[in-house]
């Protein structure tokens, strides 16, 4: 018998000048980047929160606090790899991920294949198990004013019962 669980994650970071823009583990050319203690990869952070939530292991801030020197400017791919290892410690593997990035600019859709390939490699799963979508807020709210980018993720994790 297989045990499956689902998790939901959400993250948001402010857009600022003078920072690189990292989304889904890849650097995207843009006039602004996301502000954060790490590289502020909002998509990976939402996925990590969803995975941790599905395994009932709290959230990304609990495991990788933004007060720690160990996580200062860290590549979020490292956090994702460690998150996958954490859930594996409870016997879980990633089943699938469905995530949405919410940004007015830059356009995300041209980068989706590279994001999927990057995430699949970090997680150790097939690209077909990862769905990345993009949307805008029709110029409404902080996203519409291009003050920040948000991301949402839903995941399914699986564990084989002996």
- Residue linked to tokens 């805008």: 136
DSSP 8-state code for residue 106: S
Residues making up the annotated binding site for a divalent metal cation are 11, 13, 45
In angstroms, the Cα distances linking 56 to 6, 70, 127, 147 are 10, 24, 25, 32
Residues making up the annotated binding site are 11-13, 37-38, 45, 59-61, 135-138, 142, 145
* Nearest Cα to Cα of residue 141 among 12, 2, 39, 48: 12
As given in the structure block, the two tokens for residue 14 are 């402010």
Rounded Cα–Cα distance for residues 148 and 42 (Å): 10
């Amino acid at each position: 018998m297989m045990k499956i669980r689902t998790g939901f994650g959400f993250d948001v970071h402010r857009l600022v000048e003078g920072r690189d823009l990292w989304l889904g583990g890849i650097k995207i050319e843009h006039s602004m980047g996301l502000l954060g203690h790490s590289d502020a990869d909002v998509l990976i952070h939402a996925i990590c929160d969803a995975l941790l939530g599905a395994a009932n292991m709290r959230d990304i801030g609990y495991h990788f606090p933004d007060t720690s020197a160990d996580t200062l400017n860290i590549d979020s791919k490292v956090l994702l790899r460690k998150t996958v290892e954490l859930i594996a410690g409870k016997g879980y593997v990633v089943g699938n991920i469905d995530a949405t990035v919410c940004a007015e600019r830059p356009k995300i859709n041209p980068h989706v294949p590279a994001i999927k390939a990057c995430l699949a490699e970090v997680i150790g799963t097939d690209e077909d198990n990862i769905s990345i979508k993009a949307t805008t807020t029709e110029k409404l709210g902080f996203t519409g004013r291009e003050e920040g980018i948000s991301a949402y993720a839903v995941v399914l994790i699986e564990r084989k019962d002996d």
